[in-house]
Structures are given as C-alpha cells and as structure tokens.
Amino acid sequence: MNHYDVVVIGCGAGGYNTAIRASQLGLSVACVERASNIGGTGMRTGCIPSRLLLHTSEIYDLANKGKNAALGIGCAPTLDLTQMMAYKASTVEKMSNSIHKLLRKQGVTLIHGDALLAAAGQVIVRKTGGVQQTLSGTALVIATGSVPIPLPFAAFDHMRILDSADALSLGKVPRHLAIIGAGAVGVELGSIWQRLGSRITLIERCDRICHWLDRDVTATLERSLRQRGIDIRVSSDVVGLDKHSDSVSVQLRAAASGKITHIDADRVLVAIGRRPSTAGMNLASVGMQTGYKSTLSQQGPATPVTSMTNGSGIWVIGDAGPGPMLMSKAEEEAIACAERIAGLPGFVSYPSIPYVLHTSPEVAMIGRTEDELRGTGAAYRVGYYPLAANPRAAICGTSEGFVKLLVDADTNLIAGAHLIGPGAADLISQVAIAMEASMICEDFARICHPYPVWSEALRQAAMAAGGWMMHVAI
C-alpha cells in the first residue's frame, strides 16, 4: 500500500489547489480523480464553459442586433454553433492540460479512478477494468464537489430535461428553453441561449430572481433581462413536467393564487441548486454522515473536527462542504487546508469572498446586503453612484448599472458592496482589498483612479458615502 502525507479525493479547484499548495510545503501528495480529464466542474462543465459561451454569445449578440451600427460599424453575423462548441472544448482541454502539467511539476501523484474511504486514513481507488488500489494518507481531503439537484418528480434524461452540463453542450439552439430556477445557472445560461436565438422562460419560486443579491441589484438585473426578451415568472413553483415526443409541458403553480398554468418548451433546464457529491464514498466507515459539517468552519480559521473524523484528520473542502459553491471559495479552503495540514495557520476570510454573475450587465457583490444590515439594526450609510454619470459609460454608450457601497456608520468600514454594470466582476476585487485591509471609506475615496475608467465609479460611490460625491448633483 502506497503511503502519502496527503491523499486528495477529487481534482477540481478544491483538489488541485490543495495538492499544489501541500506539495509546495514539502508534503507528499496523491490526488485521485474519477473523470478522464482533470479540472472538476469549474473547468470541465461549469465556470469555464459557461464563461466562454457568455463571451462568444455576447459578441454574436452585439453584432446580430446591429448594436454597432450607431458606431458606424455594420455587420451581419452567422452562427456556427458546432465551431463555437469546438472552440469551447479545445479551450477546456488546454486549461485541463495546464493543470496536469502543474501537478506533474509539483511532483503530485495523479491517480485516475473512483475513490472511497476504507477506514480512517485509507482510500480504495477503483480503476477501469476492475483494478483496485489502496492508498493510505496521514491526512485525507475530500474535494469531491457537487452534483445538480433534480426535481423530485422528474429525473434528468439529458435530452429534454437537462442539467447545466447538458445545457452547455447543446448541438442545436433550442426553440424555447424553459429554465427552472432563476439562480446563478438560470440567469447565466438563460443569457447565453437568449443571445444565440432561443426563446427563454425563467421560472423562479421566490418573489425575485437571485434572491440573495441586494434588492436594488436584482431589480436592475431583472429589468435588463426582461428588456433583452427573457420571460421571467417569479413566485411560481414548478409542480409537474409532462414529456411529449418533441416537447415538454411545464406546470406552474402561482404562489399567490394557486392557479396552475402550462408552458410548452422543447427543452427544460433544471437549475434549482446543487448538493455535495459524496454518494458511494462509504463515509460512514469513518463516522461521517452525509450532510456533515465541513472541517473548515464558516466564519473562522480551519480546525479539524475530530468527532467527525474519529481523530483521523479528514478534511472536507469546496462544494463538498457547506457555504457558497464557488471556485474562489474552493481555492481559499484548499490553501488553508494544505497549510493547516503542514502545521501552518491557514485561514479563510469568508466575509471577504466576492460573488459574481457573468450576465450582461455583470453583477458583483461582497459582504452584507442592505436587508441584512437592516436586520442587524446596525447604523449604516449608503454611497450610491449611477454608471450613467461615468465618463467611460458615455464612451461605451451605456447607462445601465450602479455602484452601491454600504458603510458602517460607527466605524466607517465598508460592510458591503453591490455592483451592476460593465466591469463589475473585476472591480469588486478593489473592495475586497479595502475590506481585508480594514480601510475606512474616506481613505478609499481619496485614492487616485485613472481617467476615464469604470473604477472611478467606486471612488465616486465612496465619496457619496461620505456626503461629497463630486460628479453627480446631489
């Protein structure tokens, strides 16, 4: 039996980052992956494919809608979906190969197979052809990610009832795609197929889309998606699906009236969330239950919970553990976990993990929403700056979006930031740095920004929170 300091199960963002960091710290590492190519959901079927298709579909949409005509540029694009998908596949393969190289360079042993726990510190790997290998590790890291949740009354058939991976690999633009769940997957993948020509109906059981975002952001995003032609049905629960030979009938129940209506679509994307992927891993053998808590606590430093591991040092990170399901969170936990295993004080700053939606307009948030602050009774100030006042926005011919900073009235520290508009996904890192550095809002407002750029909007919002916004008449 081969022994390693660390055995990592799963080679997605959580797994490969743990392996790289642990190896940098001088530990021997084996990483087990069941899929033929590495990179996990984020690289193979989630973040990268969706971001890539959001990019390509936006280029097509801009050209197709004649939006460049006002700039004096005329074009009539054609869509070659097969080529677009081939470009996606080759990019994913290149990125997966580069992680492979990184692991090899770090001396990480990569083993392909299906891993399950045999006992504390022991992992069985089932390989193709019935071959089985047993590994032992001083520390075991479960980084097995998550799987999409199906509707309770209709399994994924991957033809008409799709999960997100199916919906990122379609060979034909659907005529009408009904999407159940207006969360991250729903709004991003709905945007892709709307731009490529599908009619989209987005169905959400809550009274607004992406209900964890700041209300002002949701209102702007919802308005923008509707203007682009997406039919949004909120406060609607899907209570049944009937499959026909060439369509699916979706039954909706309105929350207020209880009235049942039907929508006929040629495909249905079920995007109602994901759950940890731990089925068949024999977690009970080490005293762990499905739905267990992560060894990394939500708000503080990572500490192994020995009662869940029989004292054997099992770590659970990324989507397999609790908390937001994000590449960035998986990477943070991976670094902290590897450093803890190596005896260093690894730490995850959960309140400073930004969240981004790659829609158009882009959305980004960090920290508390206004509803949350109101709920705590804390005194706060709002610094609001509309992008319509931003010189870069004028150049680009857009006025949609804003920056909203929430500032603690007692400490002047930034408690939350909510951005919607071009560049939001990149701008949010400035706020993350300010929050991590405990920078007061006044200092933030006094940092010189280049001109004319989107990030001036952040500075103006910080000025607004201090009552001296200069470029909008108050």
Ligand X SMILES: NC(=O)c1ccc[n+]([C@@H]2O[C@H](COP(=O)([O-])OP(=O)(O)OC[C@H]3O[C@@H](n4cnc5c(N)ncnc54)[C@H](O)[C@@H]3O)[C@@H](O)[C@H]2O)c1
**Which residue number, 313 or 354, has a Cβ lying nearer to ligand X?**
354
**Closest alpha carbon to 405 in 451, 332, 452, 455:** 455
Residue 10 labelled as part of a binding site: no
Q: What share of the chain is helix, strand, coil (3-state, %, to 5)?
A: 35, 25, 40
Transcribe 195-231 into DSSP letters.
HTT-EEEEE-SSSSSSTTS-HHHHHHHHHHHHHTT-E
Which of the listed partners (ligand FAD, ligand X, none) does 238 bind, with a CB threshold of 5 to 8 Å by partner kind? ligand X
12 binds ligand FAD (CB under 6 A): yes
CB of 203 to ligand X, least distance (A): 5
Please list the alpha-helical segments (H only) found in 265-369.
306-309, 327-341
**Closest alpha carbon to 84 in 184, 189, 168, 186:** 168
Which of the listed partners (ligand FAD, ligand X, none) does 445 bind, with a CB threshold of 5 to 8 Å by partner kind? none
255 binds ligand X (CB under 6 A): no
273 binds ligand X (CB under 6 A): yes
Residue 50 labelled as part of a binding site: no
Residue type, 337: C
Using the rule CB under 6 A, which residue among 182, 263, 302, 417 binds ligand X? Answer: 182
Count other C-beta atoms under 10 Å from residue 451's C-beta.
Answer: 8
CB of 152 to ligand X, least distance (A): 8
Stretch that binds ligand FAD, among 3-11, 173-181, 200-208, 258-266 (CB under 6 A): 3-11
- Residue pair 319/145 in contact (Cβ under 8 Å)? The answer is yes
Stretch that binds ligand FAD, among 6-14, 19-27, 294-302, 453-461 (CB under 6 A): 6-14
- Residue pair 457/427 in contact (Cβ under 8 Å)? The answer is yes
CB of 363 to ligand X, least distance (A): 9
Residue 187 labelled as part of a binding site: yes
CA distance 216 to 237: 24
Residue 316: Cβ-neighbour burial (10 angstroms; 0-12, 13-18, 19+): buried
Which of the listed partners (ligand X, ligand FAD, none) does 11 bind, with a CB threshold of 5 to 8 Å by partner kind? ligand FAD
**Which residue number, 148 or 313, has a Cβ lying nearer to ligand FAD?**
148
Using the rule CB under 6 A, which residue among 4, 6, 10, 272 binds ligand FAD? Answer: 10
248 binds ligand X (CB under 6 A): no
What is the phi/psi pair of residue 216, to 5°?
-65, -35
Whole-Å CA distances, 348 to 128, 329, 454: 37, 8, 29
360 binds ligand FAD (CB under 6 A): no
CA-based torsion, 420, 422, 427, 428: positive or negative: positive
- Which residues are known binding-site members? 144-146, 181-188, 204, 273, 319
| Residue numbers at the binding site for ligand FAD (CB under 6 A) | 9-15, 32-35, 40-42, 46-47, 50-51, 114-115, 143-146, 164, 185, 277, 281, 318-320, 325-328, 330, 358
Task: Name the residues that contact ligand X, by CB under 6 A.
Answer: 180-186, 188, 203-206, 211, 237-238, 271-274, 324-326, 356-358
